[in-house]
Amino acid sequence: MTPTGQDLSRLETEQQNPRTTDLDSLAPLDLVKCLHKENHTVAASVDYAVPAVAEAVEEILSRVRRGGRLVYIGAGTSGRLGVLDASECPPTFGVEPELIQGIIAGGNQALTTSVEGAEDVEEEGARALEEYGLKSEDSVIGIASSGRTPYVKGALRYARDNGAYAVALVNVSSSVIEKEADLVIRAITGPEPITGSTRLKAGTAQKMILNLITNSLMVRLGKVYGNLMIDLRATNTKLKDRARRIVMKAAAVDEAQAAELLAEAEGSSKVAIVMHLKGVGADEARSLLEKHAGQIRKVLESSEAL
């Protein structure tokens, strides 16, 4: 038994997978095929979690609109995936880095090096959120494939005690940490192809779910028009080219016009699109976007042009 009082051998993620018991005897191609076949089961487990993901997105959205932030917290692979997802949002959607943060047990060192025992102390999870300066408007998603990581349990308890929205993301049917959460997102991925190695199917499911959460949140915040990432930060050659193509598609202009609009909009694809489609200058476009919560579609549906 662990300090949490849970028998880990009973968890789905710790069971031996009957479909992969001869991995070490397979030829290279058969080995890769066998491992990859298990990946095909992951999406189905995420299907089950979709309603809970949607519920989480709407509550997180309401809190973000009140000045709240989203915090991922976890240990090992789960912690690294949270940090990865958070770090990709500013360049993709133009949000401030503070809006979505990832915290991993053991600190930044644990991103590249295993920090043994960092996940085993509940108080450390709570302390991490305290040092972060958690507010009641914030949302915390505790990620733990086993659903019993003490560090995550302590973090979720601290979040709820301080009025934040607490979500548990797990890969088992019954978990310890969900008792500390307002909502549980459960993707039951079953036995791993390599027994107990939850960086495989469980980690893949977690990455898929984190993508669903942040992408859906960004769409709802007006960072996407149609399926175009209109708030990306064009900080390199590739992204500058993408920004031009986004303006070309959304505003139905040629490359030269798109470049000219982006120059006037100081690099903002969103502002450039509104300028052309509403026939206004950059300042007017920014004002319209601010009035309509950054939603291009709402700006275009309005009858006003300043």
Q: Which of 194, 173, 193, 197 is nearest to 185 (CA)?
A: 173
Q: How many C-alpha atoms does 249 have within 13 Å on its Cβ side?
A: 13
**Two tokens at 226?**
């149609």
Distance of CA 162 to the CA centre of its chain: 22
Task: Examine the residue annotation and report whether 38 is marked as an active-site residue of this protein.
Answer: no
Which residues on adjacent β-strands are paired with residue 166? 140
Catalytic pick among 38, 119, 122, 124: 119
**Two tokens at 257?**
């016009």
Q: Are 85 and 55 in contact (CB under 8 A)?
A: no
Catalytic pick among 14, 55, 59, 88: 88
Q: Which of 87, 80, 85, 88 is nearest to 105 (CA)?
A: 80
Distance, CA of 284 to CA of 14 (rounded, Å): 58
Distance, CA of 88 to CA of 51 (rounded, Å): 24
Distance, CA of 285 to CA of 275 (rounded, Å): 6
Task: Examine the residue annotation and report whether 255 is marked as an active-site residue of this protein.
Answer: no
The CA-atom distances, in angstroms, between 211 and each of 56, 145, 245 are 13, 16, 24
Q: Which of 22, 145, 139 is nearest to 81 (CA)?
A: 145
Which residues on adjacent β-strands are paired with residue 185? 169
Residues acting as catalytic residues: 88, 119
